[in-house]
Structure 1
Amino acid sequence: MDSAAVRTRAGEFPRSPGVYLFQDGEAVLYVGKAVDLRDRVRSYADPRSARIRRMVERARTIDVAVTDTETQALLLEANLIKRHQPTYNVRLKDDKSYPLVQLTDHEFPRIEVTRDPDDSATVYGPYTDVGRVETVVKALRETYGVRGCSDHKFAGRDRPCLDYDIGLCTAPCTGEISREGYLTDVTSVERFFEGETGVLADPVRRAMESASQERQFERAAHLRDRLSAVEAFHEGGGDAVVARDGRTVDVLGVAIEGDRATVARLRSENGKLVDRERHVLSTPDPADGEAGDGREEDGVAGVLAAFVPQYYAERPLPDALLVPERPDDGEVAAWLEREGVSLRVPGAGREATLVDLALKNARRRVGRSDEGGALAEALAGAVPSLPARIERIEGFDVSHAQGRSAVGSNVTFVDGSAEKGDYRRKKLDDRNDDYGNMYDLLRWRADRAVAGRDDRPDPDLLLVDGGEGQLAAAREALADAGWDVPAVGLAKREEVVVTPAGRFDWPGDAPHLHLLQRVRDEAHRFAVQYHQTLRDEVRTVLDDVPGVGPQTRKRLLRRFGSVENVRGASVEDLTSVAGVGAKTAETLKRRL
């Protein structure tokens, strides 16, 4: 991206806290956080270092996720960096995370601040201020006497330890408190972490006032500071997620504009907000008669009723699903209940805040630049049979190594985003003929569509990676199969769009060009990935040589280029390859 493109894209972002991602196709190059997304992203139009300048030049798109607070942005940034491992981020190697608080799964639960919680524990967090967490945990222990000792120290005691003497523990280990009484105190601790601040703030405030009345001013000041920490604990979104006990929670927000709806999904795993994504749905026109079952398809409840079964049909269900409204199809709710999913419409508290946050991210999609509409308008007259707005694009590319291991890729983008569930790939006949390979790939796709053997809907546009030759081969395949779908090409070197009526050289910052580039680059990546997989799986006579495994075979072929060159190599050359010793080298010379 150039400076003008960065400024233009930044102008579309809100002045809100959140996280921004520079992306090259599907690859995330850099993740950052911001108090003001618009100002922060705009600053990249004038990078201050060569490294960041290279990153900006590589980037094709910038995406953002809105958060309520800077703290939430900080936590989401850290988890997105761990998930995507962006090239241009500084990444921790020790995989440490923010502190959590756990109550262990024990007859007498233990409270502990940890970064590595037990699988069976009840977990709260993550939090950004470890000092505040430790202050609050100590206050909870002084108020409710929940133990902090290890299970080893807890077992086999015949008298209370020092924690009992100084008021940090009620000593359940020696029966100083009954199990029922202890678990009642543990429940109070759980209520605090679930957002009921008064459970701890009220006792601390009473103790502070008592100390002040007794003129114990030093203790009163200490309790005042503790009360401040307790009251601030649940403010500012420090606990950015709701998942506990290792559960997964999905949060959905819906925004509707005209005949399009955007659903934003936030994902929490093991107590951490780890991902966000948006999906666009087309809502049917009531005049079309598609809502014959009486449902309000264009309302939030109707959108959720359509989205939830379609999205989760081929994906793992979460343990809990937070939504702004219940889906208006009772069968959807019944299905979720049968699958053990807790469907909730939160009215207040932290869960309601997360639904509001998902709604903010859904609204981010509504009103953004209409790449599909701009593309249809730019191609009008040059490509027949185009709709007024291009929503579904399929991209095609072929890859081979001088005719060997030839493969074809078929990727799908819907409303500008990759629809990976609709990706397909095909192994082609080995031949060094790009045009012939493209014909075979498009003929395969077209034949399946015409015969009704492809479960995907017909796309609005086909995009081939290449110029006039590849497009001509693709259009010939479509004509021979009788599949009437418009097609264009995108030449990589000149970034020129090729159509049956001529060539288009659009400005480098045109959003409709960026859309085609994303599809083209993803088709290329997917094809190369499949080609490399097949190339590495090709069986050679090296597989029959004792002592030569798959990794050693790859290193030999990478070093010498072919089996013939391996056959002609000297023992000294062979032993220079990692994993090949003198004995294996002699065996190779003898067997080859």
Structure 2
Amino acid sequence: MDGGTLRERAGKLPTEPGVYQFQAGDRVLYVGKAVDLRSRVRSYTDPRSDRIAQMVARAESLEVAVTDTETQALLLEANLIKRHQPRYNVRLKDDKSYPLVQFTDHEIPRIESTRDPNDAATVFGPFTDKGRIETVIKAIRSVYGLRGCSEHKYQGRDRPCLDYEMGLCTAPCTGEIDAESYREDVEAAIRFFEGETGVLADPLRREMEAAAQEQAFERAANLRDQLDTVETIHDDSERAVASGDAAEAGGDETVADVLGVAVDGDHATVARLRSERGQLVDRSRHSLDAPDEADGGDRVAALLSAFLPQYYAERQLPDAILLSERPDDDDVIEWLEREGVAVRVPGAGREATLVELALKNARQGPVDGDPLAALGEALGIDRPGRIEGFDVSHSQGKAVVGSNVCFVDGSAETGDYRRKQLTDRNDDYANMRELIEWRADRALEGRDDRPDPDLLLVDGGEGQLGAAMDALDKTGWDVPVVALAKDEELVITPDRVFDWPSDADHLHVCQRVRDEAHRFAVQYHQQLRDDVSTALDGIPGVGPETRKRLLRRFGSVDNVRDASQTDLQAVDGVGEKTAATIAERL
């Protein structure tokens, strides 16, 4: 693209904030943000470096997107860089994009959050907090009944699914609502994302007030929380909500991230140390493409400007960020400071010592020593910082349970462990299918307060992997999944089988997750089995079915022990004599 053509194109652009893309055909060469699109694009008629001049010369077209605020432009720029991986941008190689909301281009559109929207979809965002946007999506579905199911689940139904029974969908799949009425509801939801907050807030407020009048206080409180999120969600594209935790705590800087950058030719490494209350609790390293020296300016400052908005997608912002150098993009600094994040380049003292330690970590080179990065590379996915492991345990189909453990950056996150009692049956594949489907449904319906994992790992072989994939396909939950078989320690993916060396660090990561999932499942199974066998087994008149009814009615053996004989007799199959025997034995 010659200077005259570019100058003419720039003269027609608005003077509003936004994002611009230089393209060669369908390939995106460079993505940038601007406070004033016209002025910023016009500056490329006199490129500041040979590299940028080369990019402009290769460009065949220019695409722009106007945003409401400078911060939206900042977030959208980071999203597009991650999605298109433009050759002339500094790119963080192992990270995710910000969540967006899309209404699909189907005859009966569905609403969903996504990081990779369809080209034909109606898309809003980006947003910085996936949990908040999932709350809004659930509120929209409860008010307008929009479907959230995959095409696989939607097609060919002869009766409405559970979402219809729960009031989350008006069931266009079976004609419970006609297409025209459904489309009107979609348009109302779209108006909400366009800024007309009342189309969602007003119905929620009326429902909340009605619940309060009916003294359904728990439901009213839940609706109040939804309403608060709905009324502030448009601010979410301008702030990282998670950072509010520190501000509400009184502003004390209890959590700090320390970043050091090392550049080696075309490659760069950013090392991050996390300090909580003065103690180092975590570290990670990340690879980037380094800007050319010909670009001028400080390469480290440019790298930090690129790294910060890309890295903190969906991450809780710390109270402070300590840097070896100040980023060269003032918009990035202003964004962080608006969120209450103190950004400092310490010159002396303990903070300077921490920065030097981060620099030492960065100088170790690329993330070859990062087992999670190696695992992601081997599997062909992004670095799986969050891995969830699954296993089932039972005794010949009795007391069947499933475990769901979680590892974050290689360490067990016990607060995110979950377990579930499954249907009694001696079928490991069906048990695994039920377990994964349970996790997926909770995630898709917004009933699970945990972030989506980067990788699912099931304990077992091809059969368990196939069962897990069946569950993912049925629910439409898009998460990578692998299996780890015990006997030969083979990692099985949908496409191939890996036989990694026994001393491979990334294999050890998988083994730790698998072993912990197994331990947690066995522990829960033994707890249920022992409770039943030691307390209720052998009591005259109490067979397997009566035992199940007792536990279903009272919830635990302890509650059976505390129940009166009158309450025991209320259980089907327990007469006066059996009730007396139970009371005596327990």
Q: TM-score range by the shorter chain?
A: 0.3 to 0.5
Q: What TM-score comes out, normalization by structure 2 length?
A: 0.38
Structure with max Cα Rg? 1
Q: What TM-score comes out, normalization by structure 1 length?
A: 0.38
